[in-house]
């Protein structure tokens, strides 16, 4: 057991003094300024934005600094040397925020581009609608005779001049998606929308040219405006696009400290190659899979194995990328580069899971599938019926067919889902639940089986002191523990909130514990073999020993405790017919105990990430709809593969990215709350569809009878939309 | 009715002005960070950092 206090000190000074390598990420603007994107963690209020921005703005040469609160991205631009980047980063770190180089995420950028495009279309449609309505009110309130045919035609022509370009410009989201669907040989909601928009404007143009009165530019543009609102809300509800599995590897961004001869160099993790020697400081993650070549430490492997107790490592032991180095700096030899690591294996499994995922057909698309043929055949029948049987002119029959299409156009249908969803995600957000994918709530409402991880999901994911101890022992233990960063020490220090005693010459000893002196007597806190009593039988719990010269050794016991509401949540889920199963990488007996406490009958312990995935796959093929709740790297593939997935906010980034829903806080109840809101959302969506259908049942006969005028069409369209929006707001009252 | 000859172009012009303002605000990124904008009104002094 070598003493590592000296190297520890060196390490601390390294961490606070030296930041370099960020110049590798600097880009240049056309004007020759340096530009850098950073990902800032720990930003959660206006104060944070201001602190970071104003601190940096005072720096020399800074030209622009802007922190995007939604994406937590900081855009920096400055005049001068690239290497200034490091001093800026240091300034931010000194403020207490985490800084990572931002690797641009194509998908996220495309999503932002798409949101802007939809907003632009919405703006254009709104402008067109407002101006056409201005004219339409005049057209509706008088007749051709009082106004004069010439004036009416003028107003129609102006409407056409506004509406046609607006529809061509702002209708693109629908036209594009309809074309894509038709090319693929199927149909979606955008096909009838596109047809209605095209026919309505085409027929209105024809009427305008012939000085007719059935001009529907106002309805067409209004339809487009309402639908674009629905589309934009839908897009917002979907939130940031789920990063693809390959992007997840970028969660290991930053640098590795590579030793080359006498010097150490910061190299971006992605450039680390096999055989490189890397120094990993305390509190850092191992950037690659490797083999320990110098030093000994303890490693938190929970993200890979789900095991809560830190593992001791010595020379020649293997370490995995992504695991956390807890007690001492060590040097490792890279066995496989980042892209070949276990982490990358998991990512590959996730990619496979993504591809294997059955495309979920959203309820709106299912409705469109039913709706499109019905409406189109109705319009066709109306045309043929009036022309052949009714005996009216070709143009008039066509007009009636087109009014059928306009009046049935899924304005309310287009709003039915997104409005409820935006309200539901909003109210979940207030409960600290973040819904990341648009159809997650829809899929959640259908589940009948919940798979869950143990550590960090059902349990708090950190050890808590259990049992009774004398206050003198607690005080000594906590005082010594306060000097150490080990999770067990932290837990012990946390369990004691009274005054601490001072202990002299405290130092940490690799793989053993901490020791110090009280009044010249040695006091140690650490492992059984180092300072414990070997005659005491092993406990099923995690233990930490305290020895003080002249006293009996004391054993502190720790347990990863259940979240206070885990058992209740599982009982609640059960009352809805949802069975819960635990899948954990932890030891079987620990898992059994948790299962008993939560009254879960089925559990699997000691399983690897691929095994977890296999179990999930098998249940899926048995016809179950699966919710997966997990927080670790070992859960990530299963999170992707399951029908719907949730991760606690304490989960590793990769699991949070993979999950559809993220819930914050130390509780498990959000799983059940979210399930409830998902059910309510589905109920309201179905009601909205029913309302839209009811509206059609009234409106279609009118249109078929040829009784619909532009005014009636406008009223029907906005009326049904408002009804659906109003109904959606009931979610607020009920949740 | 001849007053329409002035009124309609005026209405359209105003509408266009509004649209132009909207397009400008969109292009200059004012809708990119709506959550941040909600927070920024809480800044209590005028110490504005330079724009990017």
Query: CA angle, corner A105, sides to A103 and A106, nearest 5?
Result: 135
For A338, which DSSP code?
Answer: G
For the segment B1-20, the average pLDDT, to the nearest whole number, is: 86
How far is C-alpha B35 from the chain's CA centre?
18
User: How many of the other CB atoms lie within 10 Å of CB of A431?
Assistant: 16
- Report CB contact under 8 Å: A123, B26: yes
Mean pLDDT of A91-97: 83
Residues from chain A that touch B24, judged by Cβ atoms under 8 A, are none
Domain count, chain A: 5
Q: Is A426 contained in some domain?
A: no
Judgement on whether residues A92 and A176 belong to the same structural domain of the protein? no
Residue-by-residue DSSP string for A11-73 = HHHHHHH----GGGG-EE-TTS-EEEEEEEES--SHHHHHHHHHHHHTSTTEEEEEEETTTTE
Residue A180 reports pLDDT greater than 50: yes
Taking the Cβ of residue A110 and every Cβ of chain B, the question of whether any pair is shorter than 8 Å is answered with no
Nearest chain A Cα distance for residue B46, angstroms: 11
Residues A551 and A628 in one domain: no
Q: Strand pairing of A602-604 and A626-629?
A: unpaired
| A115 plus A222 within the same structural domain | yes
Give dist(CA A289, CA A303) in Å, integer.
14
Sort out which chain B residues have CB atoms less than 8 A from A119's CB and list them: 26, 31
**Same structural domain, A168 and A33:** no
pLDDT of A565-605, one tens digit each? 899 999 999 999 999 999 987 778 888 888 998 889 899 98
Q: Could you tell me if residue A27 is inside a domain?
A: yes
Would A216 be classed as within a structural domain? Answer: yes
Q: Tell me what ipTM this predicted complex has.
A: 0.81
Contact in structure between A267 and A338 (CB atoms under 8 Å): no
Using the predicted structure, report yes or no on whether residue A645 has a pLDDT greater than 60: yes
Question: What CATH code is carried by the domain that includes residue A279?
Answer: 2.70.150.10
Same domain for A655 and A730, yes or no, is no
Q: Which residue has the tokens 């709003």?
A: A415
Confidence check: pLDDT of B38 > 70: yes
Beta-sheet pairing, A521-526 with A513-518: antiparallel
CATH number at residue A624: 3.40.50.1000
Q: Confirm whether A219 is domain-assigned.
A: yes
What is the rounded average pLDDT for all residues in chain A? 81
Q: Does residue A233 sit in the same domain as residue A117?
A: yes
The predicted-structure confidence for A365-412, as pLDDT tens digits, reads as follows: 777 778 778 888 888 898 899 888 888 888 788 888 888 887 877 677
Between chains, do A53 and B39 touch, taking CB under 8 Å as contact?
no
Chain B CB contacts of A68 under 8 Å are 32-33, 36
How many whole angstroms separate alpha carbon A662 and alpha carbon A659? 7
Residue A254: its pLDDT value, please? 66
Q: How far is CA A690 from CA A370, A371, A445, A446, A735, in A?
A: 13, 12, 19, 20, 21
Residues A445-488 have pLDDT tens digits of 999 999 998 888 888 877 888 888 888 888 888 888 888 777 78
- The reply to whether A153 and A208 lie within a common domain is yes
User: Chain B contact for A136, CB < 8 A?
Assistant: no
Which of the pair, A255 or A543, is modelled with greater confidence?
A543
Answer whether A704's CB lies under 8 Å from A400's CB: yes
Domain match, A144 and A17 both: no
Report, as an integer, the average pLDDT of A511-539. Answer: 84
Task: Find the Cα–Cα–Cα–Cα dihedral A217, A222, A223, A227, rounded to 10°.
Answer: 140
Look up the pTM and report it.
0.71
Q: Give the residue from chain B lying closest to A134, CA to CA.
A: B11
Question: Residue B43 is nearest to which of A50, A56, A115, comparing CB atoms?
Answer: A50
CATH code: domain of residue A100: 3.30.70.100
Amino acid A357: pLDDT: 55
Q: Are A446 and A679 in contact (CB under 8 A)?
A: no
Do residues A454 and A570 share a domain?
A: yes
- pLDDT, residue A14, reads 36
Domain end (from A349, A374, A390)? A349
Phi, psi of A611 (to 5 degrees): -65, -40
CA distances from A75 to A37, B43, B46, B51 (A): 5, 19, 21, 10
| One domain for residues A584 and A492 | no
Residue A244 lies in a domain: no
Q: Is residue A285 part of a domain?
A: yes
Last residue within a domain, chosen from A104, A137, A168: A104
Q: A401 in a domain, yes or no?
A: yes
Specify whether A453 is catalytic.
yes
pLDDT band at A349 (very low <50, low <70, confident <90, very high): confident
Distance from CA of B10 to the nearest CA of A (A): 11
Please state, in angstroms and rounded to a whole number, the distance separating the CA atoms of residues A281 and A4.
12
B17 in reach of chain A (CB within 8 A): no
Residue A453 is encoded by which pair of tokens? Answer: 């991880």
User: B43 touching A, CB under 8 A?
Assistant: yes
Same domain, A136 and A224: yes
Tell me the three state secondary structure of residue A348: helix
Q: Say whether B36 and A57 touch across the interface (CB within 8 A).
A: no
Residues with Cβ within 8 Å of residue A305, at least 6 apart in sequence: A585, A586, A634
A62 to chain B: which residues are within 8 Å by CB? Answer: 50
Mean pLDDT of A547-557: 87
The minimum CA-CA distance between A552 and chain B, rounded to whole Å, is: 57
Final residue of a structural domain among A676, A697, A722: A676
Other residues' Cβ atoms within 10 Å of the Cβ of residue B37: 13
Q: Which of A218, A453, A586, A631 is catalytic?
A: A453
Q: Could you tell me which residue, A3 or A551, shows the higher pLDDT?
A: A551
Quick check: B31 and A115 CB within 8 A?
yes
Confidence band, pLDDT 50/70/90 cuts, at residue A168? very high
Would you call A57 and B50 a contact, using CB atoms and an 8 Å cutoff?
yes
* Residue A100 shares a structural domain with residue A121: no
Q: Are A431 and A526 in contact (CB under 8 A)?
A: no
Range of the domain at A399: 110-239+363-420+681-734
Closest chain B CA to residue A114: B32
Phi-psi label, residue A511: left if phi above 0, alpha if psi -120 to 50, beta otherwise: left
pLDDT tens digits for A61-86? 888 888 887 777 888 888 888 888 88
Any domain includes A427: no
Is A54 close to B49, i.e. CB distance below 8 A?
yes
Nearest alpha carbon to residue A730 among A668, A692, A688: A688
A68–chain B nearest CA distance, Å: 6
Q: Of the candidates B18, B23, B52, which has its C-beta nearest A77's C-beta?
A: B52
Three-state SS at A410 = coil
Q: What is the pLDDT of residue A420?
A: 87
3-state secondary structure A621-662: HCCCCEEEECCCHHHHHHHHHCCEEEEECCCCHHHHHHCCEE
């Amino acid at each position: 057991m070598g003493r590592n206090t000296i190297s520890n000190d060196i390490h601390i000074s390294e961490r606070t003094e030296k930041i370099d390598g960020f110049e590798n990420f600097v880009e240049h603007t056309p004007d020759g300024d340096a530009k850098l994107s950073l990902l800032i963690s720990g930003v959660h209020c206006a104060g944070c934005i201001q602190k970071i921005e104003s601190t940096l703005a005072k720096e020399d040469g800074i030209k622009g600094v802007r922190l995007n609160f939604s994406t937590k991205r900081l855009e920096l631009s400055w005049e001068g040397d690239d290497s200034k980047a490091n001093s800026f980063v240091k300034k931010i770190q000194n403020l207490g925020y985490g800084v990572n180089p931002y690797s641009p995420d194509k998908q996220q950028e495309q999503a932002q581009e798409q949101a802007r495009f939809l907003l632009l279309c919405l703006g254009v449609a709104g402008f067109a609608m407002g101006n056409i309505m201005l004219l339409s009110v005049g057209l509706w309130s008088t007749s051709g005779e009082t106004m004069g045919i010439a004036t009416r035609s003028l107003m129609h022509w102006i409407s056409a001049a506004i509406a046609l370009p607006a529809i061509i410009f702002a209708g693109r989201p629908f036209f594009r998606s309809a074309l894509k669907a038709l090319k693929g040989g199927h149909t979606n909601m955008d096909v009838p929308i596109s047809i209605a928009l095209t026919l309505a404007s085409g027929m209105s143009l024809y009427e305008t040219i012939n000085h007719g009165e059935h001009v529907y530019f106002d309805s067409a543009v209004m339809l487009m405006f309402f639908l674009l609102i629905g589309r934009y809300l839908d897009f917002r509800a979907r939130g940031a696009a789920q990063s693809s599995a390959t992007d997840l590897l970028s969660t290991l961004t930053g640098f590795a400290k590579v030793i080359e001869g006498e010097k150490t160099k910061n190299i971006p993790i992605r450039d680390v190659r096999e055989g490189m020697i890397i120094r990993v400081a305390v509190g850092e993650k191992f950037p690659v899979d490797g083999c320990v070549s110098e030093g000994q430490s303890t490693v938190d492997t929970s993200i890979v194995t789900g095991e809560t107790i830190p593992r001791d490592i010595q020379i020649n032991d293997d370490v995995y990328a992504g695991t956390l180095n807890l007690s001492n700096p060590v040097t490792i030899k890279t066995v496989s580069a980042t892209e070949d690591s276990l982490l990358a294996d998991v990512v590959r499994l996730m990619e496979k899971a993504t591809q294997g995922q059955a495309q979920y057909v959203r309820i709106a698309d299912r409705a469109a599938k039913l709706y499109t043929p019905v409406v189109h055949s109705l319009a066709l029948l109306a045309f043929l019926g009036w022309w052949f049987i009714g005996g009216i002119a070709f143009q008039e029959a066509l007009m009636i067919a087109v009014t059928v299409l306009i009046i049935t156009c899924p304005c309310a249908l287009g709003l039915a889902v997104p409005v409820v969803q935006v309200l539901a995600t909003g109210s979940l957000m207030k409960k600290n639940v973040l819904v990341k994918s648009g159809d997650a709530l829809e899929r959640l409402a259908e589940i009948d089986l919940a798979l869950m991880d143990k550590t960090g999901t059902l349990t708090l994911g950190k050890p808590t002191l259990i049992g009774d101890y004398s206050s003198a022992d607690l005080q000594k233990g906590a005082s010594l523990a306060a000097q150490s960063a080990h999770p067990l020490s932290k837990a012990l220090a946390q369990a004691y909130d009274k005054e601490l005693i001072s202990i002299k010459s405290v130092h940490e000893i690799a793989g053993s514990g901490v020791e110090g002196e009280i009044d010249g007597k040695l006091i140690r806190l650490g492992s059984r073999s180092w300072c414990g009593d070997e005659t005491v039988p092993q406990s099923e719990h995690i233990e930490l020993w305290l020895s003080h010269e002249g006293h009996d050794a004391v054993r502190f016991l720790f347990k990863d405790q259940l979240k206070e509401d885990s058992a209740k949540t599982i009982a609640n889920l059960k009352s809805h017919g949802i069975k819960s199963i635990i899948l954990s990488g932890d030891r079987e007996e620990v898992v059994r105990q948790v299962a008993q406490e939560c009254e879960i009958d089925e559990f699997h312990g000691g399983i690897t990430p691929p095994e977890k995935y296999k179990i999930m796959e098998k249940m899926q093929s048995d016809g179950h709809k699966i919710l997966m709740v997990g927080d670790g790297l070992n859960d990530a593939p299963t999170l992707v593969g399951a029908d719907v997935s949730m991760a606690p906010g304490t989960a590793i980034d990769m699991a949070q990215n993979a999950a559809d829903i993220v819930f914050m806080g130390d509780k498990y109840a959000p799983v059940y709350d979210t399930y409830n809101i998902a059910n309510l959302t589905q109920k309201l969506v179905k009601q909205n569809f029913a309302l839209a259908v009811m509206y059609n049942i009234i409106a279609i006969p009118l249109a078929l009878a040829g009784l619909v005028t532009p005014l009636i069409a406008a009223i029907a369209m906005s009326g049904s939309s408002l009804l659906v929006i109003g109904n959606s707001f009931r979610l607020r009252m009920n949740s | 009715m001849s007053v329409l000859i002035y009124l309609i172009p005026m209405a359209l012009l105003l509408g266009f002005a509004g649209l132009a303002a909207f397009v400008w605000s969109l292009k200059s990124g004012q809708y990119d960070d709506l959550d941040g904008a909600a927070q920024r009104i809480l800044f209590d002094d005028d110490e504005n950092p330079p724009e990017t």
